Amino acid sequence: MTAGIWSPRQSPPTINHQPPTTNHYVWGCDLSGSMQGAGGVGGLLAVQMGSAWYFPFYDNNGNITAYADETGAIVAEYTYDAFGRTISSTGLLADTFRHRFSTKYYDTETDFYYYSYRFYAPELMRWLNRDPIEEQGGKNVYCFVGNRALVNSDKLGLWWKTQNVTKSYGPVAYSRSEYCCCDGELKKKGKQKTGIRRCCEWDRGIEVGSIEMEGKLSHCWLEFGDNAFGF
C-alpha cells in the first residue's frame, strides 16, 4: 500500500511504500527575526523522526550545513556552491533529511528544491516554473535571484532582494524594502526634497531618464519636481 506523508511548513508530500511514519518539524524565528518573515530560511529548530530528535546547524545565509542528534553527534553534513548545488553530502543520515539549502524542502529523487510558489533546479541554476508575474519581474522568467546568488536571495520563489552591499569597511546588511544604497551611503526610503540620486553601481534598477526596469524590485531614486522618491 502506498502511503502519503505530509510534512508541515513548505514540505510537499512524500510517497513511499513503507509503513507510514510521521516526521515532526519545530519552527521558530527565521533570518527576519519573525515567524516565516524570510520564508522560513534559517527557522527550522528541530526535527523529530520517530522517537529521535535532530537539530540543524546553519551558515550565515540560512543554509543547513549539518544535523546533530540528541547526544551532539553529527549525523549529516552538507556543503553547497552559491547556487545550491550540493558539493558534498556525508554522514549516516545524510540522505534522510529533507530541508537543506536555504532551509527549503529538497526532493532527493528529482534534485529539486521547493520554494512554495516554484521549484528550483540547482544543477540548472534556474527555476523550473515561469515567474507568476511573467515579464514584469524581468525578461528571463526562469532566472534565479537575478543570477547573483552571492548577494541576492529569494524566500518564496516570487521575488529576490539584495542581502548585502559592500563598502570600504566591509559588508553591510540592509533591507531593500526600507533603505536604498545611494552614493555609497544607505538612505532611508521615502519622500525627500533633494536633488537627483542614482543607484550605486552594485545595485540594479531604473536610472533617471531610463525607460527600462530590470526587475520587479527596482532600487533607485527618481526626481519629480522638487521631490525625490526611493524605490
Residue at which a domain ends, from 99, 121, 143: 121
| Domain presence at residue 44 | yes
Give the pLDDT of residue 32. Answer: 76
Residue 164 lies in a domain: no
Same domain flag for 193 and 117: no
Number of domains in the chain: 2
Q: What is the structure's pLDDT at 12?
A: 58
> Within a domain: residue 126?
no
Range of the domain at 218: 179-230
Q: Are residues 7 and 92 in the same domain?
A: yes
Question: Domain check: are 212 and 106 in the same one?
Answer: no
Are 14 and 104 part of one and the same domain? yes
Same-domain pairing of 11 and 97: yes
Q: Mind spelling out the 3-state secondary structure of the chain?
A: CCEEEEECCCEEEEEECCCCCCEEEEECCCCCCCCCCCCCCCCEEEEEECCEEEEEEECCCCCEEEEECCCCCEEEEEEECCCCCEEEEECCCCCCCCECHHHCEEECCCCEEECCCCEEECCCCEECCCCCCHHHHCCCCCECHHHCCCCEECCCCCCCEECEEEECCEEEECCCCCEEEECCEEEECCCECCCCCCECCCCCCCCCCCCCCCCCCCCCEEEECCEEEEC
User: Does 116 share its domain with 184?
Assistant: no
Per the domain annotation, does 191 fall within a domain? yes
Given a cut of 70, the residues of the chain with pLDDT beneath it are 1-19, 136-137, 159-231
* Domain co-membership, 111 together with 196: no
In a domain, 223, yes or no: yes
58: in domain:
yes
Do 7 and 114 share a structural domain?
yes
Domain boundary (121, 141, 168) is at 121
Has this prediction a pTM greater than 0.75? no
Same domain, 7 and 117: yes
Q: Report the pLDDT value the prediction gives residue 197, as an integer from 0 to 100.
A: 43
* Residue 128 counted as domain residue: no
Based on the fold, state whether residues 11 and 89 are members of the same structural domain.
Answer: yes
Residue 115 in domain? yes
pLDDT score at 154: 77
> In terms of domains, do 25 and 110 share one?
yes
Domain boundary among the residues 105, 121, 137 is at: 121
